[in-house]
């Protein structure tokens, strides 16, 4: 934990003047002096470290809170509802994120037979405490930005080390799954990709199962274990989250947005939207627009 202060100082400088997360050299940094509204996103495989403050991510009915010195790993693309849950102007939320690369994890598994092959049956999302070795690697990656010409030469090695630290950390069994093409996590990831590509269509579970080479019963069982929801519930989450983003730009066009994400019935769209977000589409979009103006 001794590295957190310098990590926070560097991210604060990098984020200065930007109210939104910034992508720099395949990493994302963010700083916010206020608690944010819960917003839906589809997270790609990533490690997200909280340096200061706290954040909350919700997957189905499961809540994941991670505070300063803790990180969240997402190993498949998941429809999360996330928010900064603790931040003030005096003590802002500070975060760091790094995409996880399945090919790099697979390479590390091939090179190091010492990584324990522990079974994993939980969801594709977990939180843990960051140890000093992981924080040291994150800090060294940020320090490279002081000398931009060093980044293309030295950053790949530090990113590799971060993957190695994660692979040998408390969530190693989970992270190992995304490096194996035959793992349950990889098969579910293929199903997720297919559903995302057809989210606005009527889908059949037997069709999804055939695409990924699984039986319907296996697909349903493994999909629910990884994502905390069924494939059809996953599709609904994707539809509603995409609709919410579109409505922020066009809050008065509720019926058209509902139709664009795959709903034939405007009343069904409004009913399911309200059930998920707690307010009808138009009212929720207007509230989010107001919150965005305040944040800016």
Q: Please calculate the CA angle 233-178-75 and round it to the nearest 5 degrees.
A: 50
pLDDT tens-digit profile of 144-196? Answer: 999 999 999 999 999 999 999 999 999 988 898 888 766 778 889 899 999 99
Q: Per-residue pLDDT tens for 250-260?
A: 777 888 999 99
Higher pLDDT, 35 or 44: 35
Record the tokens describing residue 98, joined without a space. 């790094």
- The radius of gyration of the chain from alpha carbons, rounded to an integer in Å, stands at 20
Residues ≥6 apart with Cβ < 8 Å to 247: 253, 254, 257, 281, 282, 284, 285, 288
pLDDT of 245 reads 85
Q: Is the pTM of this model over 0.85?
A: no
- Between CA 230 and CA 240, with CA 236 as vertex, the angle to 5 degrees is 145
CB contact set of 245 (below 8 Å; sequence gap of 6+): 40
Does the pLDDT of residue 293 top 50, yes or no?
Answer: no
* Short-list 1, 130, 27, CA closest to 11: 27
Task: Summarize pLDDT for 90-108 with one digit per residue, the tens.
Answer: 999 999 999 999 889 988 9
Residue from 213, 179, 224 nearest 45 by CA: 179
pLDDT score of 209? 93
Q: Which two tokens stand for residue 190?
A: 């293929």
């Amino acid at each position: 934990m001794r590295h957190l202060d310098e990590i926070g100082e560097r991210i604060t400088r990098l984020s200065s003047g930007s109210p939104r997360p910034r992508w720099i050299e395949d990493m994302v940094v963010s700083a916010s002096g206020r608690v944010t509204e819960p917003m839906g996103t589809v997270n790609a495989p990533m490690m997200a470290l909280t340096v200061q403050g706290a954040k909350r991510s919700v997957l189905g009915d499961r809540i994941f809170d991670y505070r300063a010195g803790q990180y969240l790993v997402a190993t498949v693309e998941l429809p999360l509802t996330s928010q900064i849950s603790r931040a003030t102007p005096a003590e802002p939320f500070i975060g760091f994120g790094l995409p996880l690369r399945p090919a790099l994890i697979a390479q590390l598994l091939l090179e190091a037979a010492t990584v324990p092959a522990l079974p994993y049956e939980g969801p594709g999302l977990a939180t843990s405490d960051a140890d000093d070795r992981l924080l040291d690697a994150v800090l060294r990656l940020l320090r490279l930005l002081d000398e931009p010409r060093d980044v293309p030469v030295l950053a790949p090695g530090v990113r590799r080390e971060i993957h190695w630290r994660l692979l040998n950390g408390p969530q190693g069994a989970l992270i190992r799954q995304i490096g194996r093409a035959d793992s349950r996590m990889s098969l579910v990831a293929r199903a997720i990709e297919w559903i995302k590509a057809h989210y606005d269509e009527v889908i059949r579970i037997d069709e999804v199962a055939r695409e990924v080479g699984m039986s319907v019963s296996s697909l349903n069982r493994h999909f629910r274990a990884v994502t905390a929801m069924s494939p059809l519930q996953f599709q609904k989450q994707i539809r509603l989250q995409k609709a919410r983003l579109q409505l922020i730009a066009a809050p008065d066009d509720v019926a058209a947005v509902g139709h664009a994400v795959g709903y034939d019935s405007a009343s069904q769209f409004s009913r399911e939207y309200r059930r998920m977000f707690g307010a009808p589409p138009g009212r929720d979009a207007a509230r989010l627009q107001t919150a965005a103006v305040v944040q800016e």
